[in-house]
Structures are given as C-alpha cells and as structure tokens.
Amino acid sequence: MAYTLGGSSFVQNLGRIYAIYTGAFAAFVVIIGILEWLGVPSKFLGYLYIFLTIGVYAAIGWLSRTAEVTEYYVAGRVVPAFYNGMATGADWMSAASFIGMAGSLYFGGYSGLAFVLGWTGGYVLVSILMAPYLRKFGQFTVPDFFGARYGGNAARSLAVIVLILASFTYVVAQIVGVGIITSRFLGLSFQVSCFVGLIGILACSLLGGMKAVTWTQVAQYIILIIAYLIPAIVMSFKMTGVPIPQLMYGFALEKIEILEKTLNVAQGHSSAFVDATGKYSASAMWNYFALILCLMVGTASLPHILMRYFTTPSVRQARDSVAWSLFFIFLLYFTAPAYAAFAKLEVYQNLIGTPIASLPGWVASWGRPGLALVGACDAANAAQIYPLCRGVVGNGDGILQLNEFRIHTDAIVLATPEIAGLPYVIAGLVAAGGLAAALSTADGLLLAIANALSHDVYYKMIDPTADTKRRLVISRVLLLLVAVVAAYTAGELGADILFLVSWAFSIAASGLFAGLVLGIWWKRCGNAAGVAGVFVGITVCMFFLYTTEFHGLWVKQAFSWLGEINIVKIRNRDVAYIWNINNISVGIFGIPAAFLTQWIVGAFGKPASAEMQEFIDSIRVPAGDVKVLRGHEAH
C-alpha cells in the first residue's frame, strides 16, 4: 500500500511536520517576492498562489485517503487538542470572518463588534455545556446524539433537517466567498470561479473525509493566520511605529474621533448604540444584543463545529481543544478591529481633502474595472475610471470629499497591504489566506451535510446492514452531489448573499441548542419533549424568517398585536422588523420557543426511562463505557 498520513508516527511528529510545512510556505512566499522583483506580472503570481496552495491541500487530501469508517467520519479520533484547535479555527473562520468582518467594522464601528463578540463567546457555551459530553457519547454526527437521546428516528430526522437547513445556507455563502476571491485574482467569471473553488473543496475532502479535512484545515489555518497578521503588523508599524496592531489602534481611534468632528461625521466610530444622527438609540442596543445572542447560541449549535470535538482522543482533550480553538480564533478576531481603524484613519487623514490628481496609488489600482472596490467620485466622468462611482454625483472641484468617496467592504482587508506600502507578494498572500478560510469552512460544512445524509439517513434509517465499503462509496457520492448543488446555487444567486451566514446561525440555534443542552443537563427530560422542542424551535424560526423576509407587509398586519413592527426596504424587498429587530436575529423567537416547548412537554409528559437516565449518567462522566441503548448497538 502506498504511503498515507495518519499512522501513529505521523501523529507523534505533527509538530515537526507542520513546522517544516510553515517553513516551506515562508520560502514559497520569498520566492514569489523574488519573482515579483524580477518583473514577473502580478496576474501570474496570483495564479501561482492560488494553484500552489490548492495543490498542497489536494496533496494532503490524497495522502489522507482512507477506507476506514472511523477515519472517514471522525479522523480516527487521534487528533490532539492543540491541532484540533487549529483545525476548528480554520473550520470556523470563513470568508465572512477573514475578508468581510473588518469591512463591517469599518462601516459599522461599534455596532460591528456584535460579530466579534458573537463569534467568540459561543465557545464558552461549547466548552461548559456540550463538547466534553458529545465526545464521551462517542458517535459520528450530531443527529446521532438526537437519535440516541430522544428515542429514535423522529428526533434524528428533525436534527438532520435542521443541520441541512443551517449548513446548506452557510456553505452557499462560503462558495460565493471562494468565487469572489478566485474571480478577482484570476480574472475568471464568477460562475466559473465557483466551480474552480469546488474542485479545491473536493480535493481536500472527497477521499479522506474528516481525516483529510482535519489535516488540510491545520495547514489552512497556518496560512490564513500568517496572511491576516502580516499586513496589520506592517500597517501598525507604518502608522504608529510599533508593530503591535492590537494595542496601537487605540491611538488611531483617538485620531479618528478628532477627524470625525472636522469632517462632520455624526455617527462616531467608537460610539456605542447610536443612530445615523449620533443620538443614543435603544433599538440599536437591542439589535446589538439580539445579534450577539443568536451568533453565540448558533456557534454552540452548528454541527460542523460540534463534530470537530468528536475527533479528539479523549474527553479531557475535547475540553482542552475548545480552549485552543477559541485561542486560535481570537488571534484573528482581536486583530480585525485594528484593520478597520487603520483603514479609516488612512482614508480620513490622507484621502479626504486630497486633490484627485495626487491620490495614493492604491485608490486607482483597487478602483479599476474588474476589481471596483474603491471609488474617488469627484468628477462627473469618474464612473469611467471607477465603476463604483456609478450614480454618485461629485462637485467636480478636483478635491476628494467624504461623500465622494466609495469603498467596498472587501477592500478593507484586501487593500491594506497596498495601503501599507507592501509589494504585491503580500496582497497575493492575503488572497491565499482568504481562500484558505473559505475553502476550510466549506469543507467542514459539506462534510457535515454529506455525513448526515450518508450516516444518519442512509445507514441508520434506510440500510443498517450496509457494509463499510458501500457506506464509504455512498458518503463520497453524496459529498460530490451536495457540493455540486451548492456550487450551482452559489453561482446562480450571485455575490450579494453574505447575510445568509447570519441566518444559518439563527436556524441552528433555534433548532438544535435546546435539545443539546437539555438532553445533557436535564436527565428526566423525555423523548417527546426533545422531539417537540426541535420541531417547534425550527418551525417558529423558519416561519418568522420566511414571512418577515418575503411577506413583510402581511407580517406587519397579522402580528400587530406583538408590538411595534416596521417595514425596512432592503435586498429589494419590504422586510418586516418586529420590535425593530433585524430579521438576521430571528433566533430570538426560535430559541425561547424551543426551550419553552421542551420544558413544558418535559415537565408534564412521560419522563425519560431508567435506561435512558443511566445512559445520560454514563456520558456525564469521562471514564467508563457509554451505556448501550436498545436499538443503538451498532455503529
């Protein structure tokens, strides 16, 4: 048999292997830098970055191919806490985190911090409420837990439905992210780029399942964190003289505040809970907290994250692993606000009030057609040079005003290397990092969906006698199918669907959180209560999601008894905001509905059987065997 990764010698030498890998990647960046210095065109360098990194991921995927069910579904349960932390970091941080978040912070200021908080705090819930117990449970998927805990296929099927709704919404947004990056750096059309990305995604996961995804995600984390930190460090050094962006952007915030006064910006960058006129707004505050709640609870319910903790060798390492995961995620998230602050300071300080003729070079290079990420819209014909200027009327005085400046969310991270005066080699590195972030998340999500279909639906419900070979073939065929459907959907929907990511959190939070938490922490809770909880949670969430988005006017009439409902025109629709809450936080209805239902049915319905309670006791304690329930003997 040819060499494959994953033997005990591989796991023992992980530190050395990934150190060599990191060194090789650094050497690769240096070589590209030399090529650039020799005058090789930047488009060619872009190709080198994208195809070489995808090539490395594909090689890891090939070396991790497997014919074993445990390796395919849970990476053989040999992944040490530290490395599982890195893999979870890559699994977690998507294109939205890597490229989008700094942009949201640039535009939203304080209100954008809801994402920073919401996407980190959820790990505390994972750590204290779930991960160790799910690891002890020791099966393959999150629906496995629902099936075992709440007595069979009804609960399992509902969990599969929630999983698919949440993960599919999320994966489509990831493929859009891959499409945007590849189309921007390779100059291909968006649809074609989505399918190029698809090849990258499948190369990692198709042959080796979770095992291959784990080892590529570690590799992808290393690239994405290097790519994210370097431009911020250089930018901080350039602007403040100290290369620690996370500490130094405080001074940028201070300067921004002074410039806001001279530029008449009412909504201050660091002011909390203010509306567009700069006044305190209670609805801004409630939206902030609603979004944080949905993102945190969603974090603790997303199956592609929870299933990463099935791969550690022990319960103890599962707990350590959550801490490492959050640490590795934290490294990126506490840097994102620095990106936003430095970019804003650069714009306020060096762009606004500058003659159009002497604008810094990055404005023209990121504003040209094909990229269209920046626009200096002073002259009437500005739209010919800057496509982003379409519809903006400048005063034509030859000087850039604040209201004549346009910048796309994605530009904050992508253009920072050039703003900081770094060569193209670093801009390409950032693109490679963004690609790594999008690919790794897409892989985790696709695997979660395909595993739910192949393991929970096919093997557990349709053909429990299927042999290993057949199960793995079915898994791979389903993975391929789901990936193609997702890439097709992404290509059709186009680039403007990143709000889908927030929906995915609300869906997962409403459907799965109550069932997971109460399943572990409330021993007497019976089967019917669990099934009812999931059903009501997801139904309420999907009902409000769908009606507020597509039938806003009807919601305003039919639910006027709930309280204040406003109609907001976004995404070309009349969207209903109940209590002024943005419908991306629709989980605030689903989460309590699920808890309340499960609690009422659980309190008055039939309690869990003695056998079930023994089972729960057995997953609460790290040592010892898990009590085998009737009907759940086979793996």
Site residues (vs other proteins, CB under 8 A): 110, 113, 116-117, 120-121, 123-125, 127-129, 132, 136, 246-247, 249-254, 270-273, 280, 285, 288-289, 292-293, 296, 314-317, 319-320, 322-323, 326-327, 330, 333-334, 337, 521, 617, 620-625
Minimum gap (Å) between residue 618 Cβ and other proteins = 10
Q: What is the distance between the alpha carbons of residues 107 and 269, in angstroms, rounded to a whole number? A: 8
Minimum gap (Å) between residue 126 Cβ and other proteins = 8
Between residues 341 and 529, which has the closer beta carbon with respect to other proteins?
Answer: 341
Minimum gap (Å) between residue 78 Cβ and other proteins = 14
DSSP β-bridge partners for residue 375: 406
Between residues 58 and 125, which has the closer beta carbon with respect to other proteins?
Answer: 125
Neighbours of 546 (CB within 10 A): 13
Between residues 251 and 579, which has the closer beta carbon with respect to other proteins?
Answer: 251
Minimum gap (Å) between residue 622 Cβ and other proteins = 4
Between residues 7 and 624, which has the closer beta carbon with respect to other proteins?
Answer: 624
Phi then psi dihedrals of residue 473, to 5 deg: -65, -45
What is the crossing angle of helices 336-346 and 411-419, to 10°? Answer: 60
Q: What is the distance between the alpha carbons of residues 480 and 264, in angstroms, rounded to a whole number? A: 53
Minimum gap (Å) between residue 22 Cβ and other proteins = 23
Between residues 329 and 385, which has the closer beta carbon with respect to other proteins?
Answer: 329
Between residues 169 and 317, which has the closer beta carbon with respect to other proteins?
Answer: 317
Minimum gap (Å) between residue 252 Cβ and other proteins = 8
Between residues 130 and 442, which has the closer beta carbon with respect to other proteins?
Answer: 130
Minimum gap (Å) between residue 88 Cβ and other proteins = 12
Between residues 467 and 625, which has the closer beta carbon with respect to other proteins?
Answer: 625
Between residues 33 and 121, which has the closer beta carbon with respect to other proteins?
Answer: 121
Minimum gap (Å) between residue 270 Cβ and other proteins = 4
Q: Got the DSSP string for 541-571?
A: HHHHHHHHHH-HHHHHHHTGGGS-EEEEEET
Instruction: Determine the 3-state secondary structure of 384 from DSSP.
Output: helix
Are 308 and 515 in contact, with CB atoms under 8 Å apart?
no
Are 25 and 52 in contact, with CB atoms under 8 Å apart?
no
Which CA distances in Å does 51 have to 26, 48, 60, 174? 16, 5, 14, 19
Q: What is the distance between the alpha carbons of residues 454 and 460, in angstroms, rounded to a whole number? A: 9
Minimum gap (Å) between residue 576 Cβ and other proteins = 25
Could you report how far apart the first and last alpha carbons of the chain are, in Å?
27
Which CA distances in Å does 567 have to 284, 332, 578, 581? 16, 36, 9, 11
Minimum gap (Å) between residue 623 Cβ and other proteins = 4
Phi then psi dihedrals of residue 123, to 5 deg: -70, -25
Which CA distances in Å does 294 have to 15, 115, 396, 536? 36, 10, 45, 17
The tally of CA atoms less than 13 A away on the side-chain side of residue 214 is 32
* Cβ-Cβ contacts under 8 Å for 270 (sequence gap 6 or more): 109, 110, 253, 256, 257
Between residues 117 and 161, which has the closer beta carbon with respect to other proteins?
Answer: 117
